[in-house]
Amino acid sequence: MNMPAPRPESVVSRVVLAEADIDRALTRIAHEILEANKGTTDLVLLGIPRRGYPLAQRLAAKIAAAEYQSTGISLDPSAIVGQLDVTMFRDDLRHHPTRPPLPTQLPPSGIDNKVVVLVDDVLYSGRTIRAALDALVDLGRPRAVRLAVLVDRGHRELPIRADHVGKNLPTSSVEKVRVHLAEIDAVDGHDVTEVIIEGPA
C-alpha cells in the first residue's frame, strides 16, 4: 500500500507520512480545532481544491465524531464542509498554462460571522492562501479565518502562517512534496494515502 510508485531514475522519492501517520495528524488537528473554537459553534471548514477538500471532509468527520463522544450532540459533517476554489484569484495566472476553475461550494449556513478554517494539503509559498483570503472576501465576512494544513514545508514568500499543522517538513526548494489521498489519487491502480518527497538523486 505504501510502496512508492516507480519514478524516473534521476528522481528519488521517499514516503514521509504513511496512511496511519496522516490519520493521526488529522485526528490531532481535529481536536485542536475543537479546542481553539471551544466546540463546533459557528465552525465552517473550507477545503482548497483539489486535495484540501477531501482533507476538510476527513477533518469534519473526525470533529463530528469527537463532538459526539464528548457532548452527545450529533452533527452532520457535511453541513460544516465546503470547497473554496481560488484559481481566479491567483497571482500567477499569467505564468502558468490556463487552469480551469473548479466549483466553489459553501455549506448551507454560509460564512458570514462564522469561524472559517481553510484546509489545504501543503503550505509552501503562502500564495494559495493569499488567493483564498481574497476569494473569501467576495463570498462573505467570516468572524475569523484560520488555517489548517497537512504539511508545512517552509519557504514562505508572504507573511502567512498556519494555525494547525499536521507535520513540519524541512525541505529544499528543488524537492517536491506530493500528497496522495485515496479519495482522488491512485498509484498503479491502488488508492493510496501518503505524503512523499521527491528530489534529485
Query: What residues make contact with another protein under the rule CB under 8 A?
Result: 85, 87-89, 92-104, 120-125, 127-128, 134, 138-139, 173-174, 176-177
Q: Which residue lies nearer to another protein by CB, 51 or 58?
A: 51
Taking the complex as a whole, the smallest distance from the CB of residue 51 to another protein amounts, in Å, to: 10
Range 52-67 burial, b when 16+ CB lie within 10 A, else e: bbbbbbbbbbbbbebb
Answer for the pair 19, 194: CB distance below 8 angstroms, yes or no.
yes
Taking the complex as a whole, the smallest distance from the CB of residue 185 to another protein amounts, in Å, to: 16
Q: Which residue lies nearer to another protein by CB, 174 or 201?
A: 174
For residue 176, list its beta bridge partners.
198
Calpha distance 53→149 (Å, rounded): 11
Q: Which residue lies nearer to another protein by CB, 40 or 53?
A: 53
Taking the complex as a whole, the smallest distance from the CB of residue 181 to another protein amounts, in Å, to: 15
Answer for the pair 193, 182: CB distance below 8 angstroms, yes or no.
yes
Q: Which residue lies nearer to another protein by CB, 34 or 102?
A: 102
